[in-house]
Amino acid sequence: MGWTAPVVLGCPCCALWLGVWQSPSPLRGHELCLCLVAGVQCKQWPAAGPEHRIVANPMQEFVGRSLETDHIHHHLFHRYKERFGKSYSSEEEHEHRKRTFIHNMRFVHSRNRAALSYMLALNHLADRTPQELAALRGRRRSRAPNNGQRFPTELYTGLILPESLDWRLYGAVTPVKDQAVCGSCWSFRGRTGVLTPLSQQVLIDCSWGFGNYACDGGEEWRAYEWIMKHGGIASTESYGPYLGQNGYCHCNQSELVAQLAGYATVKPGSAVALKAALVKHGPVAVNIDASHKSFAFYANGVYEEPRCNETMVLDHAVLAVGYGVLHGKSYWLIKNSWSTYWGNDGYILMAMKDNNCGVATAASFPILA
């Protein structure tokens, strides 16, 4: 027996979601009966969008009709520009950005078809070239020794570490910022444990004499040294907003806060030591290998890049704010400075396995005076 409900004939499109009414006796093909809720009209399903067509049949771009393919690319790029408010100075630049966008789109789709532990998505960086993406990774690695204290891992040997930790839940993490087209990631990692908005711009403008190079890169421990030497760091309110470019140093006109007694470095390569530092001292500045395109377009999941370098090529400074386990994979919770358009609202889960991408290689944190 079937359902005791009103029946409508000849509307096959609704069969996908309303269900087919089954008669006790066989029905002829034209007597398809469907249960339709009162007041609901039967309509055609919306056609698949251009991007879905490319995902479903990636070879269509290359073997299909060129005019149709160009139309799809034009539509996708137009939608991308609208979403992120993009505009270009000339038709030549527009075509250049469009080609770059299409190339990055193909990369994102190809990686997502690989069924990895993470997913990629087209974000506000999708019209950037590899050279422009490299400019965002401003961590300059020097071999100069720093004066950081060694984090006493042995004191926490018997410490029972929680299975997961997220300092955002305790109000200990400031909002995600956008470093813009400037290799100033190191200045965003000069965390002092103070939640008052502190000025990254003062570090960009004023710490040249300590070995940093503003938008051309630097190291967070050199920022700590500058803060210690000058008795604190200016707040954003007193020094001025972040500019995303080099400026003139005027820290003498600003009130300095957040004095430091020193800074500590965590045992290189030790996940246990980094966990202990996170538990006992809060968010920790870390350096990673972010040179792979998969990092630039990360969206969600546990990021594990087998080509990542864990020791030498650590070209980006970020902030570890916790750790945990997702679908059996242990991860570090990392805060980036590429705006909330990037990643998962500005964050990424990075695999702990084999110190992937070097999260635990060069970690440090400041010690308040």
Q: Where are the domains of the chain?
A: 1-45, 55-120, 134-368
Res 8: pLDDT:
40
Res 265: pLDDT:
94
Res 313: pLDDT:
81
CA 324 to chain centre: 17
Residues of the chain with pLDDT under 50: 1-36, 45
Q: Is residue 316 annotated as part of the catalytic site, yes or no?
A: yes
Q: Is residue 336 annotated as part of the catalytic site, yes or no?
A: yes
Q: Which of 14, 316, 355, 356 is catalytic?
A: 316
Q: Which residues contact 274 (CB under 8 A, 6 or more apart)?
A: 266, 284, 286, 320, 332, 359, 360, 363
Q: Which of 104, 336, 355, 356 is catalytic?
A: 336
Res 178: pLDDT:
92
Res 255: pLDDT:
81
User: Over the stretch 294-321, which tens digit does the pLDDT of each residue have?
Assistant: 999 999 999 999 999 877 789 999 999 9
Measured CA to CA, the distance from residue 65 to residue 16 in angstroms comes to: 31
Nearest to 315 by CA among 133, 155, 95, 148: 133
Res 259: pLDDT:
84
Res 54: pLDDT:
62
User: Within a 10 A sphere around the Cβ of 235, how many other Cβ atoms?
Assistant: 19
Handedness of CA 151, 322, 115, 58 (dihedral sign): negative
Supply φ then ψ for residue 343, to 5 degrees: 60, -145
Q: Is residue 182 annotated as part of the catalytic site, yes or no?
A: no
User: Within a 10 A sphere around the Cβ of 194, how many other Cβ atoms?
Assistant: 16
Res 10: pLDDT:
43
Q: Which of 185, 215, 251, 308 is catalytic?
A: 185
The pTM (predicted TM-score) of the whole model is 0.81
Architecture of domain 134-368: Alpha-Beta Complex (3.90)
Res 29: pLDDT:
41
Measured CA to CA, the distance from residue 262 to residue 80 in angstroms comes to: 46
Nearest to 281 by CA among 185, 167, 187, 175: 167
Res 35: pLDDT:
47
